Amino acid sequence: MQKILNAILQIEHVNGALFINPDGSVACSRFSTPVSRPPEDFAWIGLIEQFSGFREADVTFTDLRLYLRLTDNGCLVALLEPYAVIAMIRLQCDVLLSAVKKSKSHGLRRFFKK
């Protein structure tokens, strides 16, 4: 998961990325600059519950933008500058999350091939 977050941080105008477990706890996080409060201090479960019916969401504030991508095993959150190109971030998330899904799908099945 750290590789995914690092890849997202390489995109221009991305300030941070984190992956939140379904219970609201932060699985891992990466930021390009120091943050004033650790991400574990926030009640992420409320955010996940608000967007539970969506696959993805783009929320824009005055000086911050959030890109949320809900998956089967949690929520990927990218903290962006307001003028970030969302298409590039969406594409990168698609590629990275599909790679993770494929690698997890093989699991123990690889040992039981005929």
94 near 87, Cβ under 8 Å? no
Query: Which pLDDT belongs to residue 114?
Result: 47
Does the model's pTM come out above 0.95? no
Question: How high is the pLDDT of residue 14?
Answer: 94
pLDDT digits (tens, 9 = 90+) for 53-85: 889 999 999 989 999 998 888 889 999 999 988
pLDDT at 56: 92
Question: For residue 26, what are the contacts with CB-CB under 8 A and spacing of at least 6?
Answer: 18, 19, 20, 39, 40, 44
Domains of the chain, each with CATH number or no CATH: 2-104 (3.30.450.30)
Task: Collect the ranges in the chain with pLDDT lower than 50.
Answer: 108-114
Judge whether 64 and 35 are in contact, CB under 8 Å: no
pLDDT attached to residue 111: 44
- CA separation, residue 19 to residues 9, 11, 92, 101, 112 (Å): 13, 17, 15, 15, 31
- What is the structure's pLDDT at 2? 78
Calculate the alpha carbon distances from 76 to 85, 97, 111 in Å: 17, 9, 30
**Distance, CA of 8 to CA of 65 (rounded, Å):** 14
